[in-house]
Structure 1
Amino acid sequence: MKLVSNKYIIILFCFYITLVLKFSFIGVGVSFPERLLGNYDDVSHNLIPFETIGTYLTNFHHYNFNTWFYNTFGNVLLFMPLGILLPLIFTKIGGIKQLILASFIGILTIEFVQYFTLLGVFDIDDIILNLLGVVLGFCILSQFTKFRKRIIIHKFR
């Protein structure tokens, strides 16, 4: 994979990855400090697609807003920048399929580390929502690129 030489995008990407890791692992210490002390009684993993998403969307009134928002839209929003930054940095990732595969490997790695360290919960729905965020980010990048090309073409007519 060829790396784009724009150092500002690379710095932004490194900052972004740091935030993702913070929210994925260190953030658990804030939400569940007992896990850092070795108490894992509240850990439950989800391997059934759309079970958690369905629960949050149909029973949203049973959760406080922060829990509901973070576990649904937060998972999407957190990974939208990945759909923008990966294709900008790794120019070989030109299509959506390659982006989804690369993102899936990274997201799955995070989920497995959460599973084995118990600093987080392995949830198949997190993977689905994260990938949705990646795809939405890529769509934003694609639309911006098309818009930018139209402006440049229009400017030189």
Structure 2
Amino acid sequence: MSDLKDRLRADLTTAIKARDQLRSSTIRMVLTAITNVEVGGKAAREVSDAEVLDVLGSEVKKRREAAEAFADGNRPEMAQKERDEAQVLAEYLPAQMSGEEIADIVTSAIESTGTAAGGMRGMGTVMGVVTPQTKGKADSAAVAAEVKRQLGA
């Protein structure tokens, strides 16, 4: 059983008792998404903390994209609701890496793989080394942008 999933369930109970509508509806939604992952596929299974983090990251990304779409569509109240939900979910994610930390990881990956001279042809190799180190801790688009920058694209 996932410790993070247990924490989400406990926090849901607390939010319901406190009558915190935003928090309880947001946690319910993410628990439903986790259940969908558990029952999806050929056989039902328990998810690990890593899989729960993947679901949380995916849900936060959906909220950010929806907030942008609502803001572009001149619906500021809905955009704010999506941002608030993303903020609730972000509390369960590990601390995000800074730009400097990402740059340091990318630099060491380029040095260790020896792809500096290869230019953009080495991007896949570098991303293969960097992704496991940054998964869940940094936005993959920001990581890819830093790899491109350092490889000279």
TM > 0.5 between the two? Answer: no
* TM-score normalised over the length of structure 2: 0.37
Higher relative contact order (CA 8 A, sep 6+): 1
* TM-score normalised over the length of structure 1: 0.36
